[in-house]
Structure 1
Amino acid sequence: MRIHIKFSILLITILLASCTDVIDVNVPEAEPRLVVEASLDWEQGTEGNVQTILLSLSTPYFDSETINYVTGAEVKVTNNNTSEVFNFLDNNNGAYTTTNFMPIVDNEYSLEITYNGETYSAVETLMPVTGINSVYQSKDQGFNKDFLEVNVTFDDPADIENFYLIKFQQQGNFLPELFDISDEFTDGNEMHVFYEKEEFKAGDVVEINLNGISKQYYNFIRLLIEQSSDGGPFATIPAQLKGNCINQTTPENYAFGYFRLTEVSKEIYTFK
């Protein structure tokens, strides 16, 4: 009986193995598009004169290692309120840098990129941010009372529609944790955000960035955060997100990415 059972299991294993076919899925590849990483962040307490814009080309879906940096483009940002122009110099590695940028909150700025015979443009306003009031650790805010969490508080200005992006970056981790925040129901109050993680332990260091962002960028980053998380059964169906960079020469050849300008309050916290 035991011999019969062993023989049956062996036979089933052989049959299953012999029925395995390799299926090659042909995924269509779209033409590369310009990818714009233009986040001009003015850290409180600094001049904000050094700014960098990164340009690259999109890659096939399954190619997670190749980065096609763009060189030879012309990049400039103009303050539409003062007409001052800031040219970003090509570093020949996909980075375009200026050392004389002048950030002014509530001023409108225009980005213009000329690449491969086409001109891309975007318009944004440099949004202010309140400073961070306090940063502290706890174990009683999240879903698990055994996990450490870092807490951040800041004051929301009253009678003004405000939007925020807060980033928690644990030192040693490549990917940050992002939270988009609106003051729709908390206008004029002290805001409180916490970040809980099972792996947090004493000695871990977390960098915290609090950015003031525009409503348009809030809508964009909110969808991006939703699509990058697992989301559960009621998550938003993934869709191609278009930023605010418009191809003025060939509109259908739009760019990926976003042009944003923000004031940012930064803190570094070490768990005890």
Structure 2
Amino acid sequence: MNRIATFFCAACLLPLAGCLDVVPVDIPEGKPLLAVEGEITDQPGPYYVTLTKTAPYFDEAELPRVRGAVLTLEDSEGQREVLREVSPGRYATSTVRGKIGNQYVLTIRAEGEEYRAETEIRRTPEIDSVRAEFRAKTSTRNEGYYILYYGEETRGVGDYYQFKVFHNGRRLNQPGDLIVTNDEMVDGNYINGVELTNEEGVGGVFKKGDKVRVEALSITRDYFYFLNEMVTQINNVGLFSTPPANVRTNVRNVVAGSEKVAVGYFAGHTVRTDSLVIE
């Protein structure tokens, strides 16, 4: 009966479809901006920075790459290196090694402008373990394997974290998969099995024999808020959505007040990894 009722309702609405008018939406394009995406970690390099230009909202073409830029990376110990352009718009380090406690300055000279980004690599706790536990269906969750994190949180308030989960080599990369948190409520405590995922992995549910890798990143406070603001804007859709707002960036034109601003982020963070096979 439910299927018949659903079909009936749909059939009744079909004649109304011809009454709908298509309303073109004219969105101002604005001027293209430099977009920066890069990172440095405490793991062996090379580290990469990608430069593109922003594009109109409805433009589905690949973002234009910024070629021929000069990128310089310098750390608080005095090491300095000019990055190599290894492919169009993609630049790589050769010798600089990320180190916990160091600060880093990235300078970008592109299209007649100079930009500067500053970051640091903060302390990090070690992962005790990651586990997959089977959970029965309840009123609030589905049946399946859930990925859990265990480990000590470093004592001293002011730490920020991001967690990345990989399912059979592919990262869970939907907006709902972004996991960022701070230690405000758990400072110095043992994290005893916090859920990093629901039952859904990449391309289906987690199941026996699947390989799972978890990366725990210790990030800066500003990058924590950058990620939160980015997801807020991605999810800002629907009838009652708020007006779009610019997401913060740590890439700034060296000329104060210049209209040639940049978007994106150059992030410094640690990486700790653990893996498992679901049995």
For the aligned pair, the TM-score class normalised by the smaller chain equals: 0.7 to 0.9
| Correspondence for 1:210 | 216
Q: Which runs of 4+ in 1 moved over 4 A?
A: 10-14, 229-238
Q: Does 1:256 align with 2:263?
A: yes
Greater Rg by CA: 1
C-alpha distance in structure 2 between counterparts of 1:145 and 1:13, whole Å: 35
Specify the SS of the correspondent of 1:112. strand
C-alpha distance in structure 2 between counterparts of 1:120 and 1:253, whole Å: 9
Deviations 1:30-74 (A, max 9, x none): 11111111111223xxxx231111111111112234221111100
Deviations 1:127-186 (A, max 9, x none): 122221111111349942512111111211112421111111323467252211111111
Q: Relative to structure 1, is the Cα distance of residues 208 and 159 closer, same or farther in structure 2, using a 3 angstrom cutoff?
A: same
Deviations 1:178-235 (A, max 9, x none): 2111111111011243111342222333331111111111122122233334799999
Unaligned runs of 5+ residues in structure 2 are: 1-10
C-alpha distance in structure 2 between counterparts of 1:122 and 1:173, whole Å: 27
* 1:139–1:145 contact (8 Å) kept in structure 2: no
| Correspondence for 1:5 | none
* 2:42–2:99 contact (8 Å) kept in structure 1: no
TM-score, scaled to structure 2 = 0.81
* 1:168–1:207 contact (8 Å) kept in structure 2: yes
C-alpha distance in structure 2 between counterparts of 1:252 and 1:105, whole Å: 35
Q: Relative to structure 1, is the Cα distance of residues 200 and 49 closer, same or farther in structure 2, using a 3 angstrom cutoff?
A: closer
* 2:74–2:104 contact (8 Å) kept in structure 1: yes
C-alpha distance in structure 2 between counterparts of 1:251 and 1:56, whole Å: 19
More off after superposition, 216-225 vs 173-182: 173-182
| Correspondence for 1:86 | 81
Letter of the 1:175 partner, please give it. N
Q: Which of the residues 63, 68, 72 maps onto 1:67? A: 63
| Correspondence for 1:7 | none
Specify the SS of the correspondent of 2:104. strand
Q: Does 1:150 align with 2:147?
A: yes
| Correspondence for 1:163 | 160
| Correspondence for 1:27 | 27
C-alpha distance in structure 2 between counterparts of 1:23 and 1:82, whole Å: 58
TM-score, scaled to structure 1 = 0.83
Letter of the 2:143 partner, please give it. D
Percent identity among equivalent residues? 26
C-alpha distance in structure 2 between counterparts of 1:237 and 1:224, whole Å: 14
Specify the SS of the correspondent of 1:216. helix
Q: Displacement of 1:96 after TM fit?
A: 0.3
C-alpha distance in structure 1 between counterparts of 2:229 and 2:189, whole Å: 25
Q: Displacement of 1:119 after TM fit?
A: 0.4
Q: Which of the residues 49, 60, 77 maps onto 2:73? A: 77
Q: Displacement of 1:18 after TM fit?
A: 4.8
Q: Relative to structure 1, is the Cα distance of residues 155 and 19 closer, same or farther in structure 2, using a 3 angstrom cutoff?
A: same
| Correspondence for 2:199 | 197
Would you say how many aligned residue pairs link Structure 1 and Structure 2? Answer: 257
How do residues 1-272 of structure 1 correspond to structure 2 at under 5 angstroms? 16=16, 18-43=18-43, 48-79=44-75, 81-140=76-135, 143-144=140-141, 146-170=143-167, 171-172=169-170, 175=173, 177-191=177-191, 192-194=193-195, 195-198=197-200, 199-229=205-235, 238-249=244-255, 251-272=258-279
C-alpha distance in structure 2 between counterparts of 1:182 and 1:221, whole Å: 13
More off after superposition, 250-259 vs 107-116: 250-259
Q: Relative to structure 1, is the Cα distance of residues 117 and 12 closer, same or farther in structure 2, using a 3 angstrom cutoff?
A: closer
C-alpha distance in structure 2 between counterparts of 1:11 and 1:107, whole Å: 66
Q: Relative to structure 1, is the Cα distance of residues 149 and 159 closer, same or farther in structure 2, using a 3 angstrom cutoff?
A: same
Specify the SS of the correspondent of 2:52. strand
* 1:72–1:92 contact (8 Å) kept in structure 2: no
